[in-house]
A = this chain, B = another copy of it.
């Protein structure tokens, strides 16, 4: 499998491209973005962008090409089933300017499965064996129909448990970078009470991105401050310094 697209630095980035009218109509609620985000963070890949687009060839091709040029990896979900609205494989082939046809390796996975389960080999099912030229298959144990990786683009199913199996299957061959570590500080105060201390502390640690996330607990405003860095010592230093400043003001 080609790793040409992976950068040589310590930072490995990714984007997710969700393909599916059903997410945009609201009929189906996406469960894959959050899963892939957690997975990327856990293995040392920084998810930088997500797009959800319609089942429209031109939109999918444009998004694939925009994202694969910018990030180390692009994970796509959805649109690789047997029906006419499953256009992802053809879109990936078009985005890369390569051909696509029924693939013998994919047939070798699918035919014994259908034979064993007594299911007919319909043209639709054969369609799931269509793989862009040059792609490597990504097997999955749930539905047998494979995903694939072409260049830096990883094409997976939209059904969550199948997507998860494919993500696990492809992970060992992905290049990963330093893991982004994080530390959270939970405060029983609204954001507005800490914004100046927090801004000044961020200015002292420009290499440790800090975010503030307000919510409510028992009807009262609370805030979670999150500090992120790939260097654990630096992260600890920034977090301890912030906690001290907040304690001095009676805010922590």
Q: Which residues of A contact B (CB under 8 A)?
A: 18, 20-30, 33-34, 37-41, 46-55, 59, 81-86, 119-120, 122-125, 127-128, 159, 161, 180, 182, 190-196, 198-199, 202, 209-216, 226, 228
Contact = CB atoms under 8 A, between A and B. Distances in A.
Q: How many copies does the complex hold?
A: 2
Chain A residues touching B, majority SS: mixed
B29 A85 contact: no
Given A24-B50, A122-B196, A83 B212 contact: yes
A21 B195 contact: no
A221 to B, nearest CB: 8
B49 A214 contact: no
A82 B211 CA distance: 11
A123 to B, nearest CB: 6
A54 B59 contact: no
